[in-house]
Amino acid sequence: MDRTAVTIRDVAKTAGVSVATVSRVLSGAGPTSPEARQKVIDAVNVLKYIPNFSARTMASHKSNMIGLVVDTPFSPYMSEIISYIEKALYAWNFDLILCGAYYDVSREERLISSLISRRVDGLIIATGRPSYSENIRELLRRVPAVLIGKTNTFDGHPGITTDYFQGGVIGTRHLLELGHRKIVFLGRREVSTSQKLRADGYAYVCDQWGVEPLFWDNPENENSVQMGYSMAMACRNAYPDLTAVFAASDSLAIGTIKAADELGIRIPEQLSVLGYDNTFLASTPRINLTTIDQPKQLMAETAVRMLIDHIRNPEMQFDNTLLMPALVKRETCGPCP
């Protein structure tokens, strides 16, 4: 990894202007001619200069700040990941800068660039996006970074995730062993590689058992209780003989339970509901959701430890870490009626 810092003096020399002129252009303070401004911008682009906004960081080459980029900070699953990461970083005397990309490609790239420009000591990226522009990949080569939840890694950045396909296998097999044959996978999103792999695991086991796989796809990026409720209502009309729902997330599963309650369908006597993620909502009294657990605390703590090691030794090589999901039995799955 190239950690050589380009300085403001390098920019001034390349642009053929003074350091003061470069400073005015970058800060926006003070007048500069259009010609001088364009020379500075061109030099910045050529050198890929990252402005340093902290004198303390400039002196010590360390900010004690870690950037974390996620898609939706408010989702139950991600909020737990964030909490575990923040606690683990605090133990190492690092602070966290949290950024939400909200499934916006350009927003995510701008956030990554902004965090690097602020000289964070490292980055944790926990979004569903599989690839980035070459410009962002070039910037990421300058800073230690760890990827969480991504199904592929790039440029030597270490990653940690769970086996989403196996999670789909485990959940589907549990429902089939309970005697269910009319099972729908609720909430598959083609834009989400992790949820597509869960659905692939479901389809794989259905094929093994000679059962027709049924899907009810989520057209939105949102995995909310309300979205689960809406999809479950529509799905029930399309498949009136349905006996089990394998939801792509706990939120969707809870929305399904809400719909079933309004329709007078008893769970699990008439309909079994299985979630995914094992968030704090799953163990809420009166919900007691059977779900697939992702070891969120282990994922977060492992990612932080890998990042700290990477910061201390930039040349250190890391293996990607794949964790196994597990079935958590509660009260929403029962024998096929």
Domain 62-162+296-323 architecture: 3-Layer(aba) Sandwich (3.40)
pLDDT given for residue 285 in this prediction: 87
Question: Would the pLDDT of 5 be above 90?
Answer: no
Mean pLDDT rounded to a whole number for the chain: 90
Domain ranges of the chain: 8-47, 62-162+296-323, 164-295
Average pLDDT over residues 232-258: 95
Residue 305 to residue 185: CA distance in whole angstroms: 35
DSSP conformation letters of 114-150: HHHHTT-SEEEEE-S-----HHHHHHHTTS-EEEES-
Asked if the peptide bond before residue 51 counts as cis, ω within 30 degrees of 0, the response is no
pLDDT at 229 over 60: yes
Confidence grade of residue 282 (pLDDT, cut at 50, 70, 90): very high
Q: What is the CATH number of domain 164-295?
A: 3.40.50.2300
Q: Rounded to the nearest 5°, which phi and psi values hold at 2?
A: -85, 110
H-run or E-run covering 328: strand 326-328
Say if residue 52's pLDDT is above 70.
no
Residue 246: strand, helix, or coil: strand
More confident residue, 267 or 7: 267
Same fold, 62-162+296-323 and 164-295: yes
The whole-number average pLDDT for the span 185-211 is 93
Phi, psi (deg, nearest 5) at residue 152:
-140, 150
Please give the Cα distance from 83 to 37 (Å, whole number): 43
Q: What's the burial of 240, exposed, middle or buried (CB within 10 Å: 0-12/13-18/19+)?
A: exposed
The reported pTM is: 0.80
More confident residue, 54 or 115: 115
Of residues 314, 3, 311, 307, the one with CA closest to residue 142 = 3
Per-residue pLDDT for 162 more than 70?
yes
Burial of 51 (0-12, 13-18, 19+ CB in 10 A): middle
| pLDDT digits 0-9 by tens, 264-278 | 999 999 999 999 999
pLDDT at 58: 46
Q: Secondary structure of the chain: what % helix, strand, coil (to 5)? A: 45, 15, 40
